[in-house]
Structure 1
Amino acid sequence: MTLKLYGLSKCSTCQKATDWLDEHKIKHSFSDMKETPVTKDQVANWSKALGGWEKMINRAGYTWRGLPPEKTANLTEAKAVALAVDNPSLIRRPLIEHKDGSVTVGFSKKIQELLA
C-alpha cells in the first residue's frame, strides 16, 4: 500500500510534499479534494483518527474566515464534518493516510522524519 495524500493541486505545501516524496522515492498517490470530492465517511474517519475535528480544520485560513458566523458557531463533530465536506479547503493540507492506518495533516519536519 502506498501513502495517500489529499489536498489541493495549487497548494504550495501539497506540492512541496509530493516533490519531497518523489525525491525520497516514497510511493504515494495524490487526490485533489476539489476535483474528487471527499465523502462524509472519509472526513469523519479522518477526524476520528486525528483525535477530533479541531485538528483537521484550518481555522486560520481564508475559507474559514469567509464563512458566515452561523456556520462556524457551536460546531459539533457532525457539523464540522459536514462543513468540511462542503468546503474541502477547510481541511488542513496535505492530509496523509499512512500505511498503518494513521492520519496526519501538514508536512512539518516531524512528519518528514516519520516518513524517511
Structure 2
Amino acid sequence: MKLFSYSSCSTCRRAIKWLKNNDIAFDLIDILKAPPSKEMLISASELYGDRKYLLNTSGGIYRSLGSDVVKKMTNNEFFEKLYIEPRLIKRPFLYKSSKCLIVGFKEEKWAEKLL
C-alpha cells in the first residue's frame, strides 16, 4: 500500500498516525518528489465518479488556476496537470489497488476500507 503525502500537511500527518495506530503497513511517498502515476489518478477518478474529487481546492495553485480553467481541461490535460503539479492533488492519496484508492482523510471511511 502506498501513501502519497506532503510533510507539511496536517491531514497527512493525521492519516499516518491513524495507519500506525491500526498497525497497517504502508510505504510513505513524498507526493512532490514522486506523485501518483497518471494511471492511479485516472483509476481514482473512475472510482470516485468525478475527477473533481481529486483536487486540492483549498491550495494556492488551484486558486491561481481558477475553477473555470480546470473545468475546461480535457481529461488528458487534467491528469497531465495533476501529475506535473502534484500540489493540485488532494492529500493524502492512498493507493492499495486500482479498486481501492482513498483521497483525503476521513477516519470512518478509512476504517471502512482498511479494517
Q: Judging changes above 3 Å, is the alpha-carbon distance between structure 1 residues 109 and 75 closer, same or farther for their aligned structure 2 residues?
A: same
Structure-1 residue corresponding to 2:41: 43
Q: Judging changes above 3 Å, is the alpha-carbon distance between structure 1 residues 72 and 97 closer, same or farther for their aligned structure 2 residues?
A: same
Task: Indicate the percent of aligned positions where both proteins have the same amino acid.
Answer: 26
SS at match of 1:98: strand
- CA shift, 1:108, in A, is 0.8
- CA shift, 1:85, in A, is 0.9
Structure-1 residue corresponding to 2:19: 21
Normalising by structure 2, report the TM-score: 0.80
Structure-2 residue corresponding to 1:30: 28
- CA shift, 1:73, in A, is 5.0
CA RMSD of aligned residues (A): 2.3
Residue among 79, 82, 87 paired with 1:89: 87
Q: More deviation in 16-25 or 70-79?
A: 70-79
Q: What 5-or-longer segments of structure 2 have no aligned partner? A: none
Normalising by structure 1, report the TM-score: 0.80
Distance in 1 separating the partners of 2:95 and 2:22: 18
Structure-1 residue corresponding to 2:77: 79
Aligned pairs (5 A) from 1:55-74: 55-67=53-65, 71-74=69-72
Residues 20-63 of structure 1 show CA distances to partners (whole Å, capped at 9, x for unaligned) of: 11111111111111122433333223322322311111223222
Distance in 1 separating the partners of 2:99 and 2:8: 26
- Larger helix share, 1 or 2: 2
